Amino acid sequence: MRLAGARLLSDRDHPVVRAVLAADPVASCMVSARVEVAGLDPWRLGGELWAADYRGARGGRLPGLCFSGPNLIPLRGNAAALRSFADRALRKQRVCSSLVGPAEQVLGLWDELAGEWGPAREVRDDQPLMAMDAQPAVGPDPLVRPVRPDELERYLPAAIAMFIEEVGVDPRAGDGGVSYRARVAELISSGRAFARFENGEVVFKAEIGAMSRSVGQIQGVWVRPDRRGHGLGTSGTAAVVSRLVNGLGRTASLYVNSFNSPALAAYRRIGFSQVGRYATVLF
């Protein structure tokens, strides 16, 4: 008889969850950003937080923690914890679009889930997680600025092109792009979408996809194909880093595929250093 398993956490578990997230603020940024705003109530959080050892949570320990929502994000846990997360995830139909987070936990959890959820569309097993909290070593592009709400229609084609290129699927599939358009509009309205416009068109873009009280995670870095190789990606990303570090008082972070040598080199020139390793399983 199984006596322990993954359990749903609630707002009364907030102190121990907060301590776990604070222990690795860069790796946990995506989850921390949600928890800081919404607490642990699933309806407000837009997902569930699971603990691998519920009794441990009550005693101030949390050896395993996983977020289940639009993405499945295991942040902490040994093999037994990951099995308990897999058991809970398999109780209902998969709704997440990806499995993402620290590589050890993601790949271990995928081993448990692959038999039921596989095959994956793609497994990216080595994604350096990078961070910096200083002024960029590269001069920021002065023409990169926050996108205005009235510029959504001009920004959206670049965001769609980036998504297709990076993820391999069209974000407009399924609902005609209604959900993706709403997400992009939300990023713009919150001042977290940045671009360089030339003749009314986006030639560089990036976003702060998740932002906790201490870390901002940069995503969606894209340069229009005909403008690549001229340093726009490096100086543009430096502008977003400067905004995060100097303007918002956050550590800037991002993760990138290990095979993307040009991007890795550019981020290192800016001043990023590797602080961990992520992995992503795409469905």
* Locus of tokens 């919404």: 38
Range 200-204 contact pairs with CB under 8 angstroms and sequence separation of 24 or more: 200/154, 201/154, 201/158, 202/154, 202/155, 202/157, 202/158, 203/227, 203/232, 204/141, 204/144, 204/232, 204/233, 204/236
Q: How confident is the model at residue 58 (pLDDT cuts 50, 70, 90)?
A: low
Q: What is the pLDDT of residues 10-19, one digit of tens each?
A: 999 999 999 9
Instruction: Give the model's pLDDT for residue 215.
Output: 98
- Per-residue model confidence (pLDDT) at position 61: 72
Residue 52 DSSP symbol: S
pLDDT greater than 90 at residue 56: no
Report the distance separating Cα 220 and Cα 214, nearest Å: 20
Q: Which of 33, 281, 280, 266 has its CA nearest to residue 130?
A: 266
1: confidence class by pLDDT, cuts 50, 70, 90? very low
CB 71 within 8 A of CB 98: yes
pLDDT value for 4: 53
Helices in the chain by DSSP H: which ranges?
Answer: 14-23, 29-38, 42-45, 54-58, 79-89, 103-117, 152-167, 178-189, 232-242, 261-270
- Give the pLDDT of residue 178: 96
Of the candidates 130, 143, 152, 134, the one whose C-alpha atom is nearest the C-alpha of residue 239 is 143
Structural contact between residues 155 and 206, judged by C-beta atoms closer than 8 angstroms: no
Q: Which CATH architecture is the domain 144-277 placed in?
A: 3-Layer(aba) Sandwich (3.40)
- Residue 2's pLDDT band, with cuts at 50, 70 and 90, is very low
Q: Where are the domains of the chain?
A: 7-119, 144-277
Alpha-carbon span 213 to 37, nearest angstrom: 10
Please report the pLDDT score of residue 63 as a whole number: 85
Task: For residue 175, name the pLDDT band (cuts at 50, 70, 90).
Answer: very high
The total of other beta-carbon atoms located within 10 Å of residue 70's CB is 14
Predicted confidence at residue 3, as pLDDT, reads 40
Which DSSP letter does residue 12 get? G
Q: What is the mean pLDDT of residues 277-283?
A: 97
Mean per-residue pLDDT over the chain, rounded: 94
Of 37, 106, 86, 67, nearest to 280 (Cα)?
A: 106
What is the tens place of the pLDDT at every residue in 83-104?
999 999 999 999 999 999 999 9
7 exposure class (CB count in 10 Å sphere: 0-12, 13-18, 19+): middle
- Mean pLDDT, rounded, for 44-51: 96
